[in-house]
Amino acid sequence: MFAKNTMGTQMVRSADSVGANIAEGVGRGSYQDNKRFVRIARGSLNETQHWLRRAYMRNLLTAEQVDKLKLIIDELKPQLNSYLKSIGNVSEKE
């Protein structure tokens, strides 16, 4: 029970951190900050993937559950990279 609760909490926190960091970066108002927070979001996505693998290895999630979540992660990774590239060459206007 401890492992399930602990890993579940960590996975949810890292997954929630993806969107939260993107939102915070946008809210900072500079493309440098935005870029930095998107990189942090990308790290949180990788952390989520780590916890997903661990949960599967410890039989806390089924292969079907992992496959559904992995699809989302695999779609989001290139989207984050594209977004990062799109803000990487924008000059500050303010």
pLDDT of residue 88: 66
pLDDT of residue 92: 47
End-to-end CA distance of the chain: 51
**List of residues 6+ apart from 84 with CB closer than 8 A:** 35, 38, 39, 42
| Fold of the 2-88 domain | de novo design (two linked rop proteins) (1.20.1440)
pLDDT tens over the chain, length 94 residues: 666 778 889 999 999 999 999 999 999 988 999 999 999 999 999 999 999 999 999 999 999 999 999 999 999 999 999 999 998 655 544 4
